[in-house]
Amino acid sequence: MNYMIRHTGTRHLEGTYSFDERTLFDFSGMTEVQTQCACKFGKTISFYYDADSDSESSIAKAIEKEIKAKYDNVFLHCDNCEEYILNEIKKEYI
């Protein structure tokens, strides 16, 4: 399966290039994976992929399954905790 993912850990890549590789894909989706932080709100991962309209939903489900298998409990912080930490850093240093 050929697909690309984006999550808050890769957000810094947006806007640094004049070409956005996400435009190469026909479809997109989102899934949530579990994190290691205590609140366990989860981390949202966006994915981009190509498919024909007949196989689009089955490919999306397969990608979601692969992402969850690969990234469940890999990230230390959920989206909410990550945002809080980054805001605290900004207050301190920016």
- pLDDT, tens only, 46-90: 999 998 888 888 999 999 999 999 999 999 999 899 889 889 998
pLDDT (0 to 100) of residue 71: 93
Distance CA 15, CA 17 (A): 6
47, 53, 59, 60 alpha-carbon torsion, rounded to 10°: 40
Asked whether the beta carbons of 22 and 48 are under 8 A apart, the reply is: yes
pLDDT digits (tens, 9 = 90+) for 19-38: 667 778 888 899 999 999 98
50 neighbors 25 (Cβ within 8 angstroms): yes
Range of 58's domain? Answer: 3-93
3-state secondary structure (DSSP) of residue 28: strand
Residue 73 contacts residue 36 (beta carbons within 8 Å): yes
Reported pTM: 0.77
User: Count of domains in the chain?
Assistant: 1
pLDDT at 11: 53
Q: Which runs of consecutive H residues, i.e. helices, occur in 2-78? A: 56-71
